[in-house]
Every structure is written in C-alpha cells, then in structure tokens.
Amino acid sequence: MPTENEQLIRSVCPHDCPDTCAMITRVENGRAVKVQGARDVPFTDGVLCAKVSHYLERTYSDQRILHPMRRVGQKGEGRFERISWELALDTIAARFRQVAAHDPRSILPYSYAGTMGLVQRSSMDRRFFHRLGASFLDRTICAEAGYQGYKATIGETIGTDPEAFADAPYILIWGANPVVSNLHLWSRIVEARRKGARVVCIDPVRSLTAEKSDWHLAPLPGTDAALALAIMHVLIRDGLCDEDYIARYTTGYSTLKHRVAGWTPARAAAETGLNAEDIEQLAREYGQEGRPAAIRVNYGLNRCAGGGAAMRAIACLPALTGHWRWACGGILLSTSGTYGSDSQALERPDLYPDNPLFPPRHVNMSTIGDALLDEQSPPIRAIMVYNANPVAVAPDSNKVRAGFAREDLFCVVHELFQTDTADYADILLPATSQLEQWDIHKSYGHLNVMVNQPAIAPLGEARPNTWVFRELARRLGFSEACFSETDEEIGALAFRPDHPHSGNVNMETLREQGWQRLNVPRPHAPFAEGGFPTPSGKCEFYSDTLARRGLDPLPCYIPPREGPRTNPELAKRFPLAFVSPPSRHFLNSSFANLPRFLQAEGRPWLDMHPTDARSRGLKDGDRVRIFNDRGAFHAWVRLDADNPGVRSGVVSAPSIWWQKLSGDGCNANAVTSQALTDMGGGATFYDCLVEVTAAPL
C-alpha cells in the first residue's frame, strides 16, 4: 500500500507501438520513482518492454529540454540561448501572422507519432492549423499504403482479435517482427505454440521472430504480392477454398480465379527468390482443411513500390479459405478501425477558412525533402515540428537536411530532446513527457481504451502540445470555444457515442478503472458471417473503388521500383536490396539518445549474408560504407556464418539512429528514397538498392 506521500497513478505508454501498454507510476513526494506494467489490464498484463520499463531514465534524463530557446548559431549547429515562454510564443505568433498575410498555406505543421494519445497527438494542434488555413500534412510515412490495400479488400482496419492468437493452430507472421515490435502479441503466439500451433514467418531478414518460428521463408523485399498470388493459385487449383464462404461473403471470385491462374509457384519463385516447392507447401499448410490459420501481417511489407497491392493480396487469403469463421482465424493488420474515434470533434476540419483564394493544399510528409527544396506554390516559409523527428526519420535525409537548413525557413520545434531536427529550429520549445500530461488512448494492437493521468508536475518549463497551441490560438485571436477546452474536455469527445463499439466508452469508468474494453465480444470473430465494412458489404476480391481510382481492381503484383526487373542498370551498380527495420532498443528514433539503449544496440550494424560479404572481401566487424546515388552512411558488418542474419542479396541496418550520434553524421535514411507507394502516397524505405564497400575506421 502506498503511504501518505506516495501515490499510484495510471499511465499509458505513449509510444508508436501496437501494444499501448497500461502502466502504473509510483510517485513519492512529487517525484516518479517507478513505472510498472498494470497487472489488472488485460492483454498487456503487467509487462512492459525493455525500453519503457526504464521510462524514468527518459523522463528524468539530463538531456531533457527544460526551457524555451532561440537559435544563436547556424542552422543545424544546435546552439541556443534561453528565452521566456512569452517571448517564444510572441515571436512564433508574429511570424505566423506575417506569413499568413501572404498565404497561410505557406505554414506547414509536421507531426507524427511521438505520442499516440488522442489529445496530445491530434486535437488542439489540428484545430489551430485548420483555423489558420495552413497546408495540410498527409501523414503517410508509416502505414498508409498497407492501410489502403487492406481497406480496399476488407473495408476497415478491423481484424482478428489479438487475444485470439493464443488459440490459433497455425500462425503466419508476414512482414512483422512481433518479438521486437509487438511483444504482447508474441506472448499469445508463444501460448499458441505451447498448445501445438505451427508458426511460420515470412521475412527477408532472419529477425528475432524468424529465428524463433518453426519455419522461416525469406523472400526478396517487395515481392510479397507474388507469393500471395501463388498461394491463391494453389488454394484454388487444389480445391482448398471454402466455396460456401466465398459464395456468401465475397465479390469477384471468378475474375480472381482468372487472375491467379497464371501465378504458378514457379512464376512466384522467380520473383521472390523462394523455392517453388516451398511455396506449394506453404499454400497447402495454410489451406489445410478443418482448421483455421491466423495471419499477423504488418507494415514491414508496405514500405515498397507495391506495398498497397501486397497488403491487398494477402488480405484476400482468409476469405478464400473461410478462416474468418473462427475467432482465431483471419488476418490482423491493426485493430484501429474497431474504435469509433471522432476525428471531426477532435481536430475540427470544419474550421478551415472558406477562402477561394486559398484552396486547401496538401503536403506529403514522406517527401518533405523535396517539398522544402523544390518550387512549390506557395512555397513553405514556416514549419512547426512536434511529435516527430523528420531530419532523422524521413527518407532521403540529405535533401531533408538541406531543406531544413534553408535560411528563409522559419522553423519551430517542440521536443523533449535536442534531436537532429531540433538542431535546425529557430525557436525550440520544451515538451512534457507522458508522466507530465493528460491523455486518452486507443490502440492498434488490442481493443481497450485507456486514460493516462499526469503523475508529476512538468519538469522545468516543459508544456504539453495542447497548451502550446491554446496559447498560439489566443495570440492569433482565435476565439472559437473549442480553443479553450481543457485536455479532459477534449478527451471526452474522443469516441463517437453512437458507434456500436465505442458507445460504451465512459469517462466515469475510465477515471475509476483506468481502462475499458470496447463493446465487442471476447473473443471477437469480426467476419464470421461476413458483414465486411466495404461498399458491397463483402470481402472485395474485385474492387470497384480501386477501378474508379484508375488502379487494378484485382489483387496484383507491382515489383520493387529499385530491382533487377524494373531497373536493371541501377541493379548492376547497386546490387543489394537494403532494409532498415526497427531496432529492439530504439523506438523509431526515440530512446536512441539515451545511454542505456545506445549501449544495448552497440553500434550501427549492417547484417549481411556471408556470401555477399565474401565477394566484397568483408569480414565480421568491418566498418563499411553503404551507398547509392542519393547518399552514403557507415556501419559495422555483422555476419553469422551458421545463421545468416539476412538472405543473400539483402542487407539490413537496424534503425533509426540519430545522425549526430551514429559516428559519421548520417543514418540509414541517407540512402532511402522519396519515391512513393502505389496506394496512399506512402514512403518506400525498404525499396532501395545499395552497394557496400570497406571503409577505413
């Protein structure tokens, strides 16, 4: 029991991770002394990962920015002097007013998922920029291609209940690495395995998940749609489909049959670099009669030219086999579409001024480098970055850096730490950590709603995002009532009361209990009897919506943009396919500045196949230069002769290092490209060819 000076506060992990763990923060005399997993909240069950179990090292880090500052050095140099909040906010308001007088669309917000809380991630900030008439930011950097591909087939990001994976007899992990990036799903998979489940992993990298699976298939990056089409070919050819489910709950089966007829395992083998026999076996195992299979598909496979098409093809599989009939069958990309969150109420897009001179202008965050450097009409003259670290995480970082270095660009950064991006700020503002702010959370990896109560007072002069935008709104004379709502008042608007799943969300219960499960049965079998939220109400093998958008209405394969088939000349000069998936001890670029996690990761590594290393005269531990026409960065080769970390032809650099802490001032994004995915304008981080050579120490 806590004593008089002790309190136990309910917190929620704010990071961009499907698990959204429930935490308890122990506070003594106003100081947080311990964070732990909350044992009474199902799914995350009291367990935190290796990063957030040390959250106090982040909260109380001596690297925290504690006061507003203004730049005194060159852009990028990172030299600042302390100023007051009054002066900082007045300066920003004056510059925004000045820019907006010409064209408010010259102001661009740049934010992503530093915190996933619905209030601190996307409420007062969006209201402010909407009311101002600023450019819209298309937030495409992570999941948009996969989301659109999934949605075209299934209708929404609704899928297999993560809790039900524990009962699945066959699990296919596809483009996902749950041991690293989705811990609590992995524990369900371990439970399933104890009951006899077979676990298969499809990943060009021998990830920690691949290593622990019963069978690992390693296709070339960006070729997953070819594999999925061949699986469909075998399922249909060998009569492994659930014809009754198909007849009742799907559209376009006859056209799909025609489409996949040409996708023999041999053809897919040529695209994917897998054996035709393995593809046959995988299809037969997946389609085995009388038992369901659950697919965990994730964003690893949507970061390439055909990322949308790949997700769409894979999303067709459980409807073909009828695995949706079981709660522990089907497919899971994200649970986020199960929630009836009310973005209109949170973000108020209706505040955007109706001025025919300034029609809405969208800027894609995945091409921020070009957006800042190229002729734009109107040009971007001011940018405000919060919840994001674009200089480190956005593709083609030499261009991103050059864009942020523009002398005529007014740049505001609101941050906890002096990131690579913060170094380019004209005004740098101190942000609160999750323990210092209020928020309400949905999840994309389970089905609970949770509330995060502030546990401690803000450190120094740090302030939450909502506070900053409330203050800026006041200075710009925005008098609408929504600009004076408190964080809790905003949070109360987060879920639509008329939505079948979120109608039960109740602030009273959340305040008392800290969490609530959505109004869905446990376990939840969302499409056991069809009811897909598509225009036809069915799983759409054929999509009219895609046809109307000029896209292939059937599942199809779009090869990588950078590959021997599409660009043989480039592939000759840069023969290795490069991926840069998440490191275990970093969360995107978060935690990558703190001693414990830097130490745990060791160095920027490049995992290589021994054959590829040998042909370049490289050995384990060598320092190498990884390069292409866009740029170069350095890393240390990691080889494992018995268990190669990657398939041949592929190299992998666990990411995302801060550029200034990586040794050479560059990270993996020096080589990645600003080209976009087939659907949703997503980033193509893993569609990237490079060459590797020895580099002097």
Ligand X SMILES: Nc1nc2c(c(=O)[nH]1)N[C@H]1C(S)=C(S)[C@@H](COP(=O)(O)OP(=O)(O)OC[C@H]3O[C@@H](n4cnc5c(=O)[nH]c(N)nc54)[C@H](O)[C@@H]3O)O[C@H]1N2
**Residue numbers of the site for ligand X (CB under 6 A)?**
16-17, 112-115, 120, 141-142, 174-177, 180-181, 202-205, 207, 221-222, 224, 298-301, 304, 386-389, 393, 414-417, 419, 431, 465, 579-584, 586-590, 655-656, 668-669, 672, 685-686
User: What does 301 interact with, of ligand X, Mo ion, ligand SF4, none (CB < 5 to 8 A by kind)?
Assistant: ligand X
User: What does 13 interact with, of Mo ion, ligand SF4, ligand X, none (CB < 5 to 8 A by kind)?
Assistant: ligand SF4
Helix (H) or strand (E) run with residue 126 in it: helix 124-132
Segment interacting with Mo ion (CB under 5 A) among 142-150, 334-342, 397-405, 487-495: 142-150
Residue numbers 153-182 binding ligand SF4 by CB under 6 A:
none
Residue numbers 12-31 binding ligand SF4 by CB under 6 A:
13, 15, 17, 19-21
* In the complex, minimum distance from the CB of residue 49 to ligand SF4, in angstroms, rounded to a whole number: 3
**Contact in structure between 378 and 99 (CB atoms under 8 Å):** no
* In the complex, minimum distance from the CB of residue 244 to ligand X, in angstroms, rounded to a whole number: 31
Residue 298 in the binding site for ligand SF4 (CB under 6 A): no
Nearer to ligand SF4, 40 or 238 (CB): 40
Distance CA 387, CA 369 (A): 18
Phi-psi region of 466 (alpha: psi -120 to 50; beta: other; left: phi over 0): alpha
Distance CA 7, CA 30 (A): 9
**Contact in structure between 586 and 656 (CB atoms under 8 Å):** yes
Within 490-604, strands assigned E span 515-517, 539-540, 576-579
Nearer to ligand X, 207 or 443 (CB): 207
Distance CA 365, CA 369 (A): 9
Nearer to ligand X, 177 or 453 (CB): 177
Residue 51 in the binding site for ligand SF4 (CB under 6 A): yes
User: What does 20 interact with, of Mo ion, ligand X, ligand SF4, none (CB < 5 to 8 A by kind)?
Assistant: ligand SF4
User: What does 251 interact with, of Mo ion, ligand X, ligand SF4, none (CB < 5 to 8 A by kind)?
Assistant: none
Distance CA 250, CA 532 (A): 9
Nearer to ligand X, 184 or 538 (CB): 184
Taking each helix axis from N to C end, the angle separating 224-237 and 253-261, rounded to the nearest 10 degrees, works out to: 110
* In the complex, minimum distance from the CB of residue 607 to ligand SF4, in angstroms, rounded to a whole number: 23
Choosing from 9, 27, 142, 183, the residue that interacts with Mo ion (CB under 5 A) is 142
Segment interacting with ligand SF4 (CB under 6 A) among 9-17, 124-132, 209-217, 269-277: 9-17
Segment interacting with ligand SF4 (CB under 6 A) among 48-56, 483-491, 520-528, 589-597: 48-56
Nearer to Mo ion, 146 or 458 (CB): 146
Distance CA 638, CA 661 (A): 19
Parallel, antiparallel or unpaired: strands 382-386 and 107-111: parallel
Helix (H) or strand (E) run with residue 146 in it: helix 144-154
Nearer to Mo ion, 348 or 442 (CB): 442
Distance CA 671, CA 683 (A): 13
* In the complex, minimum distance from the CB of residue 415 to ligand SF4, in angstroms, rounded to a whole number: 19
Distance CA 154, CA 686 (A): 25
Choosing from 27, 35, 41, 52, the residue that interacts with ligand SF4 (CB under 6 A) is 52
CA atoms within 13 A on the CB side of 388: 24
Nearer to Mo ion, 264 or 419 (CB): 419
* In the complex, minimum distance from the CB of residue 142 to Mo ion, in angstroms, rounded to a whole number: 3
Closest CA relative to residue 692, chosen from 610, 615, 627: 627
Residue 587 in the binding site for ligand SF4 (CB under 6 A): yes
* In the complex, minimum distance from the CB of residue 302 to ligand SF4, in angstroms, rounded to a whole number: 20
Distance CA 330, CA 210 (A): 21
Closest CA relative to residue 679, chosen from 569, 543, 562, 580: 543
Report the length, in residues, of the chain: 697
Distance CA 386, CA 197 (A): 43
* In the complex, minimum distance from the CB of residue 85 to ligand X, in angstroms, rounded to a whole number: 14
Segment interacting with ligand SF4 (CB under 6 A) among 43-51, 396-404, 515-523, 646-654: 43-51
CA atoms within 13 A on the CB side of 144: 18
Distance CA 36, CA 48 (A): 7
Segment interacting with ligand SF4 (CB under 6 A) among 45-53, 143-151, 427-435, 553-561: 45-53
Residue 170's DSSP bridge partners are 198
**How would you label 201-210 residue by residue, b for 16+ Cβ within 10 Å and e otherwise?**
bbbbbbbbbb
* In the complex, minimum distance from the CB of residue 620 to ligand X, in angstroms, rounded to a whole number: 20
Nearer to ligand X, 186 or 324 (CB): 186
* In the complex, minimum distance from the CB of residue 160 to ligand X, in angstroms, rounded to a whole number: 16
* In the complex, minimum distance from the CB of residue 178 to ligand SF4, in angstroms, rounded to a whole number: 10
* In the complex, minimum distance from the CB of residue 681 to Mo ion, in angstroms, rounded to a whole number: 15
* In the complex, minimum distance from the CB of residue 356 to ligand X, in angstroms, rounded to a whole number: 34
**Contact in structure between 224 and 598 (CB atoms under 8 Å):** no
Residue 346 in the binding site for Mo ion (CB under 5 A): no
Nearer to ligand X, 182 or 516 (CB): 182
Cα-based angle 330, 335, 339 (whole degrees, multiple of 5):
130
Choosing from 48, 118, 431, 577, the residue that interacts with ligand SF4 (CB under 6 A) is 48
User: What does 333 interact with, of ligand SF4, Mo ion, ligand X, none (CB < 5 to 8 A by kind)?
Assistant: none
Please confirm whether the linkage preceding 42 is cis (ω < 30° from 0): no
Nearer to Mo ion, 321 or 590 (CB): 590
Cα separations (Å) of 235 from 232, 261, 324, 679?
5, 11, 16, 27
Where do contacts with ligand SF4 occur on this chain (CB under 6 A)? Answer: 13, 15, 17, 19-21, 48-49, 51-52, 183, 587
Where do contacts with Mo ion occur on this chain (CB under 5 A)? Answer: 142
